[in-house]
C-alpha cells in the first residue's frame, strides 16, 4: 500500500491545502488555528464516516470498488496506528480530518486523493461531531441510571427514617430520608429524558451538504445515513454545516444535570457537618487537612459543586459562539468541540463517583429523627384544628401564637400539656398529644406524592419497575 517516490512528498504535512497559497502559514498562525490538539479524539468517528463515504462513492461509480476497498483498508490501518500511539500527529495538519487524509494518501496514493470527492470539511466535521455525541450520550444516560439506582437502593433502606424537610434552610416539616432522596431520582429522570431528546435531535446525517451548497455530483446521502445508522438526513445543506443546536441541546442537558449534582453535593456537605450531624462521610471519599489533624473534608463534593460552574460556562460559551454567526460555516465553530468535550469530561466522572458514594454514607437515624420534631410539627397542629371545622387562617394564627408563647416560656412543643393547648383553643382534645410524634406526622401524609411510608414504598416500586 505504500507509495513510492515523490507522491509522499506531495502530501507532506501542511501541503494538502496549499494550492491557493504561494506562502505557507507562520508557525504561530498554525499553532493558534489548529484544532488537532483536542479534536483528535474524533478519529474513530472520522474514520467511520470516511469509510461510509468511500462506500457510497463506489456505489454511485465515482470511484471503483477496488479503490473503496483500498481506502477502507488504509483507514483501518490508520485507526490501529492511532490506537497504538504510533501515528505521527503534526500541528500543521490543522485538524484530525486533514491528519487522517494526509496519512491515507501516504498509504494509498491516488485512491486516498479521491476520498474527499463530494465532501467538505464543513459537512465532515458536522458528521464526526454528531457521531461522537451519538456514542457519548448513551454513556451519560447509563451513568445517570447508575446514580438513580444507587439512590433507590439507599431510599429503600430508609423509608421509615424520619428527618426534617427544609424551606429557607429552616426546619419546616417532617419527611423521610427516602422521600427526600426520591426527589433527586425524579430530577435524574428528567435529566435522562433531556439527554434522550438531545440524542434524537443529534441523530440526523449532515454529510453530502458539502461546503454549504451540496455538490453537482450525483451522490447517495441515504446510503451513507443507513450505513452510519442515522435516523434521518439534514434536509437543508446550509443548515447541515452551520447547525450546532444539537450541541447546545447536549450542553443544556449537561448544565442542568451538573446543577442537580451540585445541589445534591451541597446537601451531603451540610448533613455531614458537626452542626447537622445527620451523616458521616466514608473515609475513602474524604480528604484531610495539611494542618488540622482532626479534619475530614468533603473535597470531592465541593469539587463537584465547583465544577458545575464549568459545565454552565460551557453552555454559555456555546451560545455566545453561535449568537452572532451568519450562515454558514465560520471557524468560530471550531470552539464547539472543546465545550462539549469539557462538559463530558466533567459530568461523567462526577456521576460515577456520586453513584459510588451514596450507599457508603452512614446516616445517624436518631439525630435526624430528633431534628424532625418540635416546631416542625406546627403545621400538623394547624391542620388538626382545620379537621375540627376551623378556617385555616384562624388555625394558622392560633398555632403561631402557641409557638410564640412556647418559645417565650423556654419550652418545646413536646413539653406542653393538654391544658396548655386548650388555653389557645377549646377545640384541642387529649389526642392532640399524638400529633407531637414525627413518625406519626409522615405516616398520615398519604396524599399522592406525599412522604408516608406506604406512598414512598409504592413510589420506589414504580421507579424500580
Residues taking part in catalysis: 168, 289
- Residue 20: predicted pLDDT: 67
pLDDT of residue 76: 98
Task: Using alpha carbons only, give the angle 401, 405, 409 rounded to the nearest 5 degrees.
Answer: 170
**How many domains does the chain fold into?**
3
Does 359 share its domain with 396?
no
Instruction: Report in angstroms the alpha-carbon separations of 73 from 13, 54, 65, 168.
Output: 21, 11, 12, 63
pLDDT at 17: 67
Question: Which letter, b or e, does each residue of 343-371 get, where b requires 16 or more Cβ atoms within 10 Å of its Cβ?
Answer: bbebbeebbeebbebbeebebbeeebbeb
Same domain, yes or no, for 308 and 181? Answer: yes
**What pLDDT sits at residue 5?**
33
36 shares its domain with 127: no
Could you report how far apart the first and last alpha carbons of the chain are, in Å? 55
Sequence-distant contacts of 99-104: CB under 8 A, at least 24 apart? 99/36, 99/40, 100/43, 100/46, 100/47, 100/50, 100/75, 101/16, 102/11, 102/12, 102/13, 102/16, 103/78, 104/71, 104/74, 104/75, 104/78
Q: Is residue 434 part of a domain?
A: yes
Q: How far is CA 50 from CA 45, 98, 130, 336, in A?
A: 8, 12, 14, 21
Give the count of beta carbons closer than 10 Å to the beta carbon of residue 314.
26
Three cell numbers written together for 343:
462538559
Q: Specify whether 422 is located in the same domain as 329.
A: no
Q: Cα torsion at 413, 417, 420, 421 (round to 10°)?
A: 70
Pairing of strands 362-363, 279-280: antiparallel
- 238 in a structural domain: yes
Could you give the C-alpha distances from 439 to 161, 173, 382, 413, in angstroms and in order? 9, 11, 17, 15
Question: 149 and 276: one domain?
Answer: yes
Q: What is the pLDDT of residue 29?
A: 87
| Structural domain contains residue 226 | no
Determine phi and psi for 160, rounding to 5 degrees.
Answer: -100, 5
Answer whether residue 101 is part of any domain.
yes
pTM for this prediction: 0.92
Report the C-alpha gap between 251 and 137 in whole angstroms.
11
Q: Do 155 and 196 meet the contact criterion of CB atoms below 8 Å apart?
A: no
For residue 346, tell me if it sits in a domain. yes
Within-domain flag for 227? no
Q: What are phi and psi of 326, to 5 degrees?
A: -75, 160
> Rounded to the nearest 10 degrees, what angle do helices 43-59 and 65-83 cross at?
170
Q: Are residues 407 and 423 in the same domain?
A: yes
User: Which of 99, 117, 135 marks a domain boundary?
Assistant: 117
Domain assignment of residue 464, yes or no: no
300 and 417 share one domain: no
Do 23 and 73 sit in the same domain of this protein? yes
Residues 127 and 88 in one domain: no
Write the Ramachandran bin of 449: left for phi over 0, alpha for psi from -120 to 50, otherwise beta: left
For strands 204-205 and 162-167, give the pairing: unpaired
Pairing outcome for strands 232-233 and 170-176 = unpaired
Q: Quick check: helix, strand or coil at residue 232?
A: strand
Report how far Cα 174 is from the mean position of its chain's Cα atoms: 31
Check which CATH number belongs to the domain holding 210 and give it.
1.20.200.10
Name the stretches of the chain with pLDDT < 50. 1-14
Q: Residue 30: how many CB atoms within 10 A of its CB?
A: 18
* Count of all residues that appear for the chain in the document: 465
Do 253 and 272 sit in the same domain of this protein? yes
- Predicted local confidence at residue 19, as pLDDT: 66
- Domain of 401 in residue numbering reads as 373-454
Q: Are residues 201 and 261 in the same domain?
A: yes
Is residue 346 within 8 Å of 311, Cβ to Cβ?
A: yes
Look at residue 27 in the predicted model and tell me its pLDDT: 84
Residue 351's Cβ-side half-sphere holds a number of Cα atoms within 13 Å equal to 24
**Residue 461, domain member (yes or no):** no
Q: Which helix (H) or strand (E) holds 171?
A: strand 170-176
Domain boundary among 117, 134, 167: 117
CATH number at residue 34: 1.10.275.10
Q: What is the CATH number of the domain that holds 431?
A: 1.10.40.30
Where among 117, 141, 173 does a domain terminate?
117
Q: What are phi and psi of 89, to 5 degrees?
A: -80, 145
Residue 37 to residue 49: CA distance in whole angstroms = 20
Q: Say yes or no: 395 and 357 in one domain.
A: no
- Rounded to an integer, what distance in angstroms lies between the CA atom of residue 171 and that of residue 160? 19
User: Which class for 431: exposed (0-12), middle (13-18), buried (19 or more C-beta within 10 A)?
Assistant: exposed
* Residue partners of 405: CB distance under 8 A and separation at least 6: 424
Amino acid at each position: 500500500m505504500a507509495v513510492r517516490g515523490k507522491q509522499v512528498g506531495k502530501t507532506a504535512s501542511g501541503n494538502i491545502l496549499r494550492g491557493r497559497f504561494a506562502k505557507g502559514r507562520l508557525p504561530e498562525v498554525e499553532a493558534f488555528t489548529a484544532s488537532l490538539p483536542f479534536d483528535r479524539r474524533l478519529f474513530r468517528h472520522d474514520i467511520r464516516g470516511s469509510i461510509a463515504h468511500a462506500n457510497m462513492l463506489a456505489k454511485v461509480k465515482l470511484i471503483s470498488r477496488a479503490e473503496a476497498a483500498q481506502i477502507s483498508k488504509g483507514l483501518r490501518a490508520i485507526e490501529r496506528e492511532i490506537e497504538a500511539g504510533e501515528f505521527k500527529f503534526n500541528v500543521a495538519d490543522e485538524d484530525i480530518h486533514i491528519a487522517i487524509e494526509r496519512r491515507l494518501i501516504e498509504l494509498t496514493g491516488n485512491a486516498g486523493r479521491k476520498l474527499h470527492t463530494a465532501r467538505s470539511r464543513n459537512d465532515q466535521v458536522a458528521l464526526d461531531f454528531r457521531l461522537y455525541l451519538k456514542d457519548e450520550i448513551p454513556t451519560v444516560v447509563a451513568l445517570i441510571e447508575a446514580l438513580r439506582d444507587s439512590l433507590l437502593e439507599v431510599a429503600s433502606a430508609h423509608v421509615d427514617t424520619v428527618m426534617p424537610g427544609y424551606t429557607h434552610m429552616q426546619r419546616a416539616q417532617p419527611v423521610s430520608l427516602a422521600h427526600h432522596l426520591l426527589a433527586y431520582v425524579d430530577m435524574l429522570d428528567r435529566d435522562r429524558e433531556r439527554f434522550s431528546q438531545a440524542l434524537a435531535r443529534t441523530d440526523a446525517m449532515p454529510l453530502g451538504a458539502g461546503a454549504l451548497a451540496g455538490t453537482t455530483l450525483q451522490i447517495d446521502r441515504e446510503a451513507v445515513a443507513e450505513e452510519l445508522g442515522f435516523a434521518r438526513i439534514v434536509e437543508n445543506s446550509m443548515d447541515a454545516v452551520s447547525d450546532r443546536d444539537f450541541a447546545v441541546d447536549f450542553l443544556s442537558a449537561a448544565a442542568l444535570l451538573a446543577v442537580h449534582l451540585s445541589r445534591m453535593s451541597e446537601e451531603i456537605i451540610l448533613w455531614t457537618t458537626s452542626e447537622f450531624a445527620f451523616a458521616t462521610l466514608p473515609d475513602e471519599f474524604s480528604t484531610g487537612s495539611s494542618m488540622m489533624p482532626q479534619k475530614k473534608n468533603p473535597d470531592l463534593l465541593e469539587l463537584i459543586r465547583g465544577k458545575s460552574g464549568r459545565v454552565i460556562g460551557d453552555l454559555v460559551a456555546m451560545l455566545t459562539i453561535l449568537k452572532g454567526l451568519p450562515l454558514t460555516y465560520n471557524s468560530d465553530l471550531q470552539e464547539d468541540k472543546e465545550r462539549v468535550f469539557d462538559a463530558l469530561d466533567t459530568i461523567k466522572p462526577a456521576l460515577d463517583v456520586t453513584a459510588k458514594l451514596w450507599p457508603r454514607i452512614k446516616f445517624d437515624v436518631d439525630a435526624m429523627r430528633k431534628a424532625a420534631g418540635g416546631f416542625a410539627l406546627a403545621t400538623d397542629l394547624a391542620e388538626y384544628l382545620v379537621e375540627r371545622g376551623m378556617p385555616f387562617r384562624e388555625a394558622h394564627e392560633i398555632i403561631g401564637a402557641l409557638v410564640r408563647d412556647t418559645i417565650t416560656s423556654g419550652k418545646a412543643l413536646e413539653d406542653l400539656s393538654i391544658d396548655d393547648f386548650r388555653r389557645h383553643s377549646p377545640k384541642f382534645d387529649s389526642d392532640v398529644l399524638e400529633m407531637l410524634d414525627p413518625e406519626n406526622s409522615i405516616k398520615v401524609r398519604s396524599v399522592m406524592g406525599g412522604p408516608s411510608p406506604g406512598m414512598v414504598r409504592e413510589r420506589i416500586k414504580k421507579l424500580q419497575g
